[in-house]
Chains A and B, each alone.
Chain A
Amino acid sequence: MTELLRGLPPLLASHLELVLLALAAAATISLPLAIVVARRPRAAFVVVTVAGVVQTVPGLALLALMVPVLAKTGWLSPFGFPPAVIALTLYAILPILRNAVTGLRGVDPAALEAARGMGMSPWQVMRIVQLPLAAPVIAAGIRTATVWTVGAATLATPVGQACLGNYIFTGLQIRNFTMLLVGVAAAAILAMTFDALLAATERALAGRSRRRALIPTAIFAALVVFVVGVLPALADQHGARARPSSVTATSRTAVTSVRIAGKTFTEQYILMEVLRARLESVGIAVDVAQSLGSTVIFDALVHADVDAYVDYSGTLWSNTMKRASGPPRWQVLAELEGWLAQAHHIHSLGPLGFENTYALAVRRDTAERLGLHTLVDLERVAPELALGGDYEFFGRAEWTAVKRTYGLRFARTTTFDPTLLYEAVARGEVDAISAFSSDGRIAANNLVVLADPGGALPPYDAMILLGPRVADDPRVACALGGLHIPVEQMREANAMVDRDQSSPAVAAAWLLARAAPIDESCKAR
């Protein structure tokens, strides 16, 4: 708990930075726009509708969408702060814009006519009459946007921006509910604080003494200064690691700090700790970007926003190279590694020694009773058996390929939530399930994975990838190169976290204790 609270200030600081910048940008765009369209009902309708459509895109999707968009334009880093701020800005525009338009259009027509009749220019009518009278409504819009943005900013984690979402995403994945709650509570308290401050401002604006509005505004301004100026400095003193420059270093000087990353499932949190421990043991400073989305993480590597992470050959083969499944394992690996090196200057350290792929698993006693070792053995008994799958399995190419290759026809197929799947087969609800081959729950539930001699399931070899900044660094390659993790060990490590609630760092230490030690010469380089 104290560890969690100590980690909070830097997350809180970058969360606030994100929120305040997005709100400032949204207000800068929305308010002039509202002023321009307020007198043109048709334009106002179009603008508010467009903002409304943006608003209907789910927050997570909008954030993820910014990554490829920014990667295409190439002006800004498609990773971390820029996509997060842009997406949150787009998100915050609607409430500010809509309230401003409503407020400006809702001003008493008699006041407007009197103002025009006494000789105010259109801009004077806006400044002296419309803006002050619409101020409480405009303030209410900013308040709504603020509360939304504080919440939506937690979704910036998967695009690589540190924020309170880090605790939420990680906590969910590794089932650390204390971590999850700290993240949620911090976001909620932040939202309520802003809400209360802005409500006070709004009340003061609606009342007649403008001077009273100065107090909450001043508190708000002080908070902004504190957050943007003071908090990061404090956070630095608490030992937060400085980010490595995201600019691709082309110089040949040895790398002294490396930014590693991981996706959003247990295995990735453990492997991140493995990489961190190995790099730190040779004296390289490590910075971590966790809980990244699957496509975001590869883009980040390409753009040198992260330097190393573990990916799976099949994912890159089909999702990034857009190739069809079918070629044998060695060919996938060879072509993939060649393509990564040539197209992106990404260096693969080769397969880690285990796969994390879709596989069919049965209970050990079922396997023994029916004499099941491979998917070939399944063909004759399948019509007697029930198969369970996660939400997507029965719609995926893997299932079609397995059915076709082995001529499988099950008595029935049932869809389960992934968290219930392993338990369902353990309790005998179904006889076989689609499993992830390195999942700890295979060992935990005493299941057996059936071999795939026909090669129907594409290979998903785990492999460490090094980005362009560190691809040629001998010390990094030396520290990470010698790793070999058999699938049984990976399963056990996953189970330590999923089943026993150990921390990913503990599971990583367990793995490293079984791995070959680092060559002493690495440290000397």
Chain B
Amino acid sequence: MGYQFEEHGGEVEISLSAPSEAGVFVAALEAFAALATDDESGQHCVEEVALVGSDRALLLVDWLNELVVLAELRRFVPEQVETLELLDDGLRAIVQGHRGAPNPLVKAATLSNLRLEREGGTWHGRVVVDV
């Protein structure tokens, strides 16, 4: 359970798994945090995220892209999800982190080979991010 960086010829492919659909989104944040982390311990802060959309796979991409923008515009280095709620028409979350110098490696999350589905009792996700 959690995230794993898969072999990819040029970009970074993240595979995600969790017992719940929301857990996949949490794992996605953890993966992004691993890519964006800096060596600083800047001022602790929280960011609220609200996204609209009923296509959950697309919402997963939007979620990662929101983190890219928060890192770039607000120098937000995410650390962990405080709360995350999947709604019929979107997502609401509060994310803990700090202001710092996030690694700007990730340009965007893509729709390439995008996957979010349940197999047995486990939810699986896959996203390729452009780096």
Asked whether A and B interact, the reply is no
| A interface residues (Cβ-Cβ under 8 A, vs B) | none
